[in-house]
Amino acid sequence: MMNPTLEFAFEIRVDVGEGHHVGRGPDEKLHFTPITGGTVDGPLLQGRVLAGGGDWSVERSGTTELEARYLLEAADGTVIDILNRGYYRASDDVTRRVESGENVDETEYYFRTAPVFQTDAPAHRWLAENQFIGLARDEDGQICIRIFVLR
């Protein structure tokens, strides 16, 4: 049997605006965080995060389910759609530290994503034809996601 491998593709550093509590119910919290920009840099893709889109998160039973949708613009001008779903889980202490702006080592909490990309540009078609895994962290006021292609 084949064992999968991961190849580092690029890192997305997302700038976010002030979040909004939307509601939901006594055992769930729905939250929206707007995406205001950012950068993309790595061996397989460079560019920027376009302002617009956002992250909808639902917290229940100590785990937050995330769904972010926004646009990337590659260095050659190609616009790429990203839908990034994942999970965030941390102790109350780590969550307080992250929310206070502290750069907490990513080994202290679980923040993983599975991005899906859409584009018809030939140079970037590989993004729409492979499976990816994201390892995320909060750092210096940004959400940073190291993207790996599953081989």
In this predicted structure, the answer to whether residue 24 has a pLDDT above a threshold of 90 is no
Residue from 30, 23, 58, 40 nearest 115 by CA:
40
The ranges assigned to domains in the chain are 6-150
| Predicted pLDDT of residue 91 | 94
- CB count within 10 Å of CB 144 equals 20
pTM: 0.93
Residue 52 confidence class, pLDDT cut points 50, 70, 90:
very high
Average pLDDT, the chain: 96
| Predicted pLDDT of residue 22 | 92
Look up tokens 């679980």; give the residue.
110
Under DSSP, is residue 127 helix (H, G, I), strand (E, B) or coil?
Answer: helix
Residue 23 confidence class, pLDDT cut points 50, 70, 90:
confident
As a residue count, the chain comes to 151
Structure tokens at 19: 């979040």
Using the Cα atoms of residue 60, residue 97, residue 111 and residue 128 in order, give the sign of their dihedral: positive
| Predicted pLDDT of residue 75 | 98
Residue 26 confidence class, pLDDT cut points 50, 70, 90:
confident
CA dist 79 and 119 (Å) reads 7
Which of the listed CATH numbers 2.130.10.10, 2.40.160.20, 2.40.50.360, 3.40.47.10 matches domain 6-150? 2.40.160.20
Give the helix ranges, DSSP H, for the chain.
92-99
Neighbouring-strand partners of residue 116: 83
Share of the chain above pLDDT 90, in %: 95
